[in-house]
Structure 1
């Protein structure tokens, strides 16, 4: 079991703090004077930012949510020379920070873009292949939420293959379980046929039917 030493604890804390930076919330406040969590799907994620703030700010949110996790992992290596295991912990803790930011009453996003950022931080090639694959998966299934849920199902397998560490894999399972739980309303809407489909969403945005 990973020792609860200073470097390990600091890696987790640094990851959580950086991950709690809520780009969609901040962009919503700056450009639209709104709390993004009070609109749309009521979470501070990239998909809701796209829905409420538009494609440009949604894309910026997506990129920032990815690279804040990469930043957390990189800083752990720079400041602590922490080695592979601790930057894994920093990355996973950043996802936790994104989902439960302390300064927003622990109400953040669902962590999909941040989880992608975790894999970009491990291996940029793997991360960008994952983005391409998940984009194709979203187009085929016609649901963004199903894509996020799918990522959470396969995530622990990818973490294990990359880390070969049981403690890190267990941590990733906890993160993924939380991520799936945060998608519970999407799952119910899909079951009831009420979840907005990707092509419908894009068409609404292009035709400016969706405010």
Structure 2
């Protein structure tokens, strides 16, 4: 029962949409009505500037890290529970109840979850993304391809539950980018 409460709490943390609240605080504007109409860090940066991008990334990363850190502290490193918490934050970020289920696409949540649950895989991902960006000159393509490194690395390390969790999260991120959802 306690785990279920933490999952609901993680969803509510996920609903704290950095781009939306930064836009409201800086210019009293709804980022979902501007630019690409996505409530994510990239659109916030395009519409409101570098400062908004940085604040959005920090808010979205913290809303992911905090519930994961609390659960690790209380329950230890139990991959299934941590995966459920990361998934709940992702769902809250993409479909925040207070914003009529119109949030971001989950990239910062995916990366912040990796920072906590798979730091080595995240480091390797950073290297791969850097190399792909140099070759392709397109950060979106480099990032989306590079993000596959996280579940693959976890699978190689025989961390199968986390590999499955990050595969599902990655599928959601790619699906939303492919179809323009999450706006």
TM-score (norm. length: structure 1): 0.72
| Contact 1:112 1:148 (8 Å CA) reproduced | no
| Contact 2:128 2:146 (8 Å CA) reproduced | no
Partner of 1:199: none
Partner of 1:17: 12
- Note if 1:118 corresponds to 2:126: no
- Note if 1:33 corresponds to 2:28: yes
- Give the deviation of 1:82 after TM superposition: 5.1
Partner of 2:152: 157
Partner of 1:174: 168
- Note if 1:105 corresponds to 2:68: no
- Give the deviation of 1:114 after TM superposition: 1.0
Any gaps of 5 or more consecutive residues in structure 1?
1-5, 187-211
CA, structure 1 residues 183+104, in 2 after alignment: closer, same or farther (shift >3 Å)? same
CA distance in 1 between counterparts of 2:63 and 2:124 reads 19
Superposition map of 1:1-211 within 5 A = 6-78=1-73, 80-81=74-75, 83-85=77-79, 86-124=81-119, 126-127=121-122, 130-131=125-126, 133-161=128-156, 164-166=159-161, 169-184=163-178
Partner SS, residue 183 of structure 1: helix
- Give the deviation of 1:142 after TM superposition: 2.3
- Give the deviation of 1:70 after TM superposition: 1.0
Deviations 1:146-200 (A, max 9, x none): 234324544433454567244x5444433322221211257xxxxxxxxxxxxxx
CA, structure 1 residues 160+68, in 2 after alignment: closer, same or farther (shift >3 Å)? farther
Aligned-residue RMSD, C-alpha: 2.6
Q: Looking at CA atoms only, which structure, 1 or 2, has the larger radius of gyration? A: 1
CA, structure 1 residues 147+64, in 2 after alignment: closer, same or farther (shift >3 Å)? farther
Partner SS, residue 55 of structure 2: helix
CA distance in 2 between counterparts of 1:73 and 1:93 reads 11
CA distance in 1 between counterparts of 2:89 and 2:48 reads 24
TM-score (norm. length: structure 2): 0.81
- Give the deviation of 1:18 after TM superposition: 0.9
